[in-house]
Amino acid sequence: MPVSPIPAQELQLLRNGYWDRTSIISLPDTSKRVRKISKGAESAGPWGMDNLRAEALYLAALEDSLQDFFPPLLAHWDTDTTGYDMGYMENYVNVGQIAQEQVFNQPQADAMQTYLGQRLFTQLHTPSLASPLLVANIKDTLNKAMHCLQRHAQLQVLLDPVSINHLPVVSLEQQLQALYGSSLLTQLDATPQVRLHGDLFLENMLLPAHDPGQNWPQHLVLIDPISVAGIGAGHPLFDLGKYESYATGELPAMRQERLLISGFEGAGEHQAPQQYHWAIDWQDPAMIGLKKINWHGQLRSLYIQHYGPVKTALYELLQAYFAAAMVVCTEGREQQARALKMRASLQLALTH
């Protein structure tokens, strides 16, 4: 393993993420790679270097049957900085872009989900003997999110009993006490524990930019495994929940602040519980592709065929956890929406 990245010229910045920077680079021999490197002290959250380290080890350990499902790992370093180089998938684009630009029709989107589900649930989701990490991480993340709300002048009001999209929500402290006293968390540590992708959403999937024929959806390649907090094994519902958080339009709407939010402008002026509302702005042109095409229904059907019915309480708990992780490291209207999502999903988890 090299002690530092090979000197290279950055050709194109692909993503300036919360914890890392991903770019297309050119080496002295003119070959191209994709480099993902930690932002160190500039990181917006606490997980970046650990996460990149785990991603590289994950890719290095893939069995032969999955080598075509991910770009090849070309280098990994972990000294002054942490990161790795992977193969450059030339003329590929992420499926989030395909969805936004309305490139696929519904049969093509269904075919992509079918291919993804078959490989995900039968090949990638192999049994894992790794020590369960998810429950401890959920507790830690929810506690971090609570402390974030406590320190935030505008978001402090979300610690109290509120109404979110007409759903009565008890105080956050009461929610956490109920959660920690319930069996929900132990259910997540129960079998089956499988290897996960961990960050399974449309922007972490690549397909050729131009139609190569009827098997276009089967050229799918996954990138960026491991969740933001290093979760690479656990309950299979984790991957479905992460996938649907994007494919339903919710995650891109939050990231890009294509949202309709109300309640914060009058916070503290009315009797409790304060009324909050949030929704995706489906009139925004950038959201039309995720509205017109169902990018999630087929994958959910395959999940149910493989694992059985989706348990609503566990699903909502995971949605609350995903939102809580982003409360810690976002700001503005996205942070508002993430906090509302966390509080509402926690309530739904406790009442189903």
In this structure, are 14 and 128 located in the same domain? no
Q: Which pairing describes strands 9-16 and 32-38: parallel, antiparallel, or unpaired?
A: unpaired
Rounded to whole angstroms, the Cα distance separating 181 from 274 reads: 27
Domain housing 40: 9-87
> What does the pLDDT read at residue 214?
78
> What does the pLDDT read at residue 79?
81
In this structure, are 63 and 137 located in the same domain? no
Region 211-233 average pLDDT: 86
Q: Is the pLDDT of residue 45 over 60?
A: no
pLDDT-wise least confident of 180-194, 292-306, 316-330: 180-194
Number of domains in the chain: 2
Regarding predicted confidence, which is higher, 214 or 237? 237
Which tokens sit at 206?
């690549």
Question: Residue 194: beta bridge partners?
Answer: 127, 234
**Which of these three, 87, 112, 130, is where a domain ends?**
87
Residue 1 forms part of a structural domain: no
CATH number where 248 lies: 3.90.1200
- In three-state secondary structure terms, 182 is coil
Helical packing angle, 134-151 and 312-327, nearest 10°: 50
Rounded to whole angstroms, the Cα distance separating 159 from 162 reads: 8
Confidence at 225, pLDDT banded by 50, 70, 90 = very high
| Residue 64, CB-side half-sphere exposure with 13 Å CA sphere | 0
Confidence at 19, pLDDT banded by 50, 70, 90 = confident
Rounded to whole angstroms, the Cα distance separating 149 from 140 reads: 14
Rounded to whole angstroms, the Cα distance separating 197 from 272 reads: 41
Residue 33 forms part of a structural domain: yes
Residue 257 forms part of a structural domain: yes
Rounded to whole angstroms, the Cα distance separating 142 from 349 reads: 14
How big, in percent rounded to 5, are the helix, strand and coil portions of the chain?
45, 20, 35
pLDDT-wise least confident of 80-89, 118-127, 145-154, 252-261: 80-89
Backbone torsions φ then ψ of 258, nearest 5 degrees: -95, 70
Q: Is the pLDDT of residue 31 over 90?
A: yes
Highest mean pLDDT among 211-215, 262-266, 289-293: 289-293
In this structure, are 76 and 30 located in the same domain? yes
In this structure, are 60 and 124 located in the same domain? no
In this structure, are 235 and 257 located in the same domain? yes
In this structure, are 151 and 66 located in the same domain? no
Residue 331 forms part of a structural domain: yes
**Which of these three, 87, 112, 141, is where a domain ends?**
87
> What does the pLDDT read at residue 255?
95
In this structure, are 72 and 104 located in the same domain? no
**Which of these three, 40, 71, 87, is where a domain ends?**
87
pLDDT-wise least confident of 69-83, 176-190, 266-280: 266-280
In this structure, are 298 and 264 located in the same domain? yes
